[in-house]
Amino acid sequence: GPQNEQQRAVVEAFQHAWSAYCKYAWGHDELKPISHGWQEWMGVGLTIVDSLDTMWIMGLKDEFRAGRDWVAANLTFDKDSEAQLFEIVIRELGGLMSAYHLTQDKIFLLKAVKLADRLMPCFGGNTAIPCRMVNLRTGRTHFQDISTAESGTLQLEFRSLGRATDDKYEKAVEAVSDHLHRLKKTDGLVPTFLSGTSGQFRSSSTVSFGASADSYYEYLIKQWIQTGKKNVWMRDDYLESIEGMKKHLLKHTKPSNLAFVGSMFSPNARSVRNEMEHLTCFLPGTLALGHMAGVDPGDHLELAKQLTKTCYEMYRRMPTGLSPEVAQMNTDPHATEDLRVLHGTDYNLQRPETVESIFYLYRATKDPMYRDWGWKIFEAFEKYTRVEEGYASIDSVQRTATGYRDKMETFYLAETLKYLYLLFSDDDNLLPLDKWVFNTEAHPLPVYSR
Looking at domain 5-446, its CATH architecture is Alpha/alpha barrel (1.50)
174 included as an active-site residue? no
Active-site option among 63, 174, 275, 353: 353
**Range 357-378 average pLDDT:** 98
User: Which residues are CB-neighbours of 39 under 8 A, at least 6 positions away?
Assistant: 28, 29, 30, 32, 407
Q: How confident is the model at residue 193 (pLDDT cuts 50, 70, 90)?
A: very high
286 carries a ligand binding annotation: no
pLDDT at 117 over 90: yes
Residue 390 to residue 333: CA distance in whole angstroms: 44
Residue 417's pLDDT is 99
Active-site option among 63, 157, 218, 325: 325
Residue 402's pLDDT is 83
Contacts by 145-148, CB closer than 8 A, 24 or more apart: 145/193, 145/194, 145/195, 145/196, 145/202, 146/193, 146/194, 146/196, 147/86, 147/192, 147/193, 147/194, 147/212, 147/213, 148/180, 148/190, 148/191, 148/192, 148/193, 148/194, 148/201, 148/212, 148/213, 148/216
Predicted TM-score (pTM) of the model is 0.98
428 included as an active-site residue? no
Tell me the sheet residues that pair with 22. none
Active-site option among 40, 82, 87, 105: 87
Give the three-class secondary structure for 146. Answer: strand
pLDDT at 203 over 90: no
Q: How confident is the model at residue 101 (pLDDT cuts 50, 70, 90)?
A: very high
Residue 361's pLDDT is 98
353 included as an active-site residue? yes
Confirm if 45 and 71 have CB atoms less than 8 A apart: yes
**In the chain, what are the domain boundaries?**
5-446
User: Which residues are CB-neighbours of 176 under 8 A, at least 6 positions away?
Assistant: 123, 128, 129, 130, 151, 152, 154, 155
> Which of 435, 437, 416 has the alpha carbon at shortest distance from 357?
416
Confirm if 439 and 221 have CB atoms less than 8 A apart: no
Tell me: the pLDDT tens digits for 392-411? 999 999 999 889 999 999 99
Query: Which amino acid belongs to residue 234?
Result: M
Q: Give the start-end residues of each E strand in 171-321.
A: 193-194, 250-252, 259-261, 275-277
Active-site option among 30, 214, 296, 313: 214
Q: How confident is the model at residue 270 (pLDDT cuts 50, 70, 90)?
A: confident
Task: Note if the bond before 255 is cis, omega within 30 degrees.
Answer: yes
Give the three-class secondary structure for 319. Answer: coil
Residue 91 to residue 50: CA distance in whole angstroms: 6
Angle in degrees, 0-180, between the axes of helices 46-58 and 5-25, rounded to the nearest 10: 150
Phi, psi of 39 (to 5 degrees): -145, 150
388 included as an active-site residue? no
